[in-house]
Amino acid sequence: MRAVFLDQKTFNQNISLSAIESEVTSLECYPTTDENTLFERCINAEIIITNKVVLNEDTLKSLPSLKLICITATGTNNVDLIAAKKLNIAVTNVAGYAKQSVTQYVFSQILEYFSQTTHHHKNVENGLWSKSETFCALGNEINEVADKTIGIIGYGNLGATVETIAKAFGMNVMIAEREGSQTLRPNRHSLTDVLQQSDIITLHCPHTPETEHLINQQTLSLMKPSAMLINTARGAIINNNDLLNALTNKTIAYAVLDVLDCEPPPSNHILLVNQPKNLKITAHIAWATNQAQQRLLELVGENISHYKQGKQRNRVA
């Protein structure tokens, strides 16, 4: 089967494609693909591999050879799944590949915030330790994460792995029930209770109509003034204006965002132009350890193998 990888540049260049190459007749790779080059690159492909390139209904209708779309991510919003199903085009995604990577990112941010290691390193660079009258140079206060309460919103592979590590640190874990649910499943708490009682809120839920702007003026107002918010899920789960106001007015203490509602963001994005000191933004890299990237592409190879055998694996359409 002939395959085309439309946006290989979304992966490090040292990541091996051998798991995919072994399953296809040919593989053409492009760093990025825009709407002007999409058709000519895909017209003869039986398999399209895409991370974020959009494949809408009109595009899918124009590709009669296409049999399988492999999304190199968990999110599927860049592919028209309804159209794909109508056209008998199989669509697969991948899940679970980044649970170690994302969890490592979450706790690197938590530990940096509570341990203040960057601040204390800068104190040494600035000569404050050499000038100290005692054996240490105390700067920003340091706090333990043990006995802190972490609230997890979104309890799939990522949320469950965060829970495991949190418990190893001696933290209290609260798992949020879905907003609007009339019943609480075992070991779940209402979203209101989680927001009110947590010292740290970490988001791991998908972006759906129900979760869009889930974090807004009302929900932010429920959080502790000392609370930390971490988003490694999707940017649109947070209302940007409301978050900016909450940080500026110290409604909450700190936020770390690895995702924004538009990626890459424009240079005049409201959170970049007005970024307060209690907001840290990174460029959607929580998933991207070398090991997670390699696992992901190996899973894509497995998806192709199962499809060729007539088996359904990670099928979303």
- Which tens digit of pLDDT belongs to each residue from 52-73? 999 999 999 999 999 999 999 9
Per-residue pLDDT, 294: 97
Query: Which one of the listed residues 204, 284, 295, 298 is annotated catalytic?
Result: 284
Whether 271 and 239 have beta carbons less than 8 Å apart is answered as: no
Among 297, 300, 294, CA closest to 313: 300
Q: Does residue 284 have an active-site annotation?
A: yes
- The CATH classification of domain 2-95+290-308, taken from the options 2.60.40.420, 3.40.640.10, 1.10.40.30, 3.40.50.720: 3.40.50.720
The pTM of the full predicted model, rounded to 2 decimals, is 0.92
Q: Which alpha helices (H) appear in 25-129, and where do they start and end?
A: 38-42, 57-61, 81-86, 99-115, 117-125
Running DSSP on this structure, what letter comes out for residue 14? T
Instruction: Work out the number of other CB atoms within 10 angstroms of the CB of residue 264.
Output: 9
Q: Name the β-bridge partners of 229.
A: 201, 255
Query: Which one of the listed residues 120, 189, 234, 269 is annotated catalytic?
Result: 234
Per-residue pLDDT, 180: 82
How close are the terminal C-alpha atoms of the chain, in Å? Answer: 19
Query: Which one of the listed residues 57, 210, 263, 313 is annotated catalytic?
Result: 263
Mean pLDDT, 10 residues at a time, over the chain (317 residues)?
Answer: 96 96 97 96 97 96 97 92 97 95 98 97 96 94 97 95 98 94 92 98 93 97 98 97 98 98 96 96 97 97 96 88
Which CATH class name applies to 99-281?
A: alpha beta
Among 199, 203, 202, CA closest to 225: 199
Residues of the chain with CATH 3.40.50.720: 2-95+290-308, 99-281
Q: Does residue 204 have an active-site annotation?
A: no
- Which tens digit of pLDDT belongs to each residue from 201-238? 999 998 889 999 999 999 999 999 999 999 999 999 99
Per-residue pLDDT, 152: 98
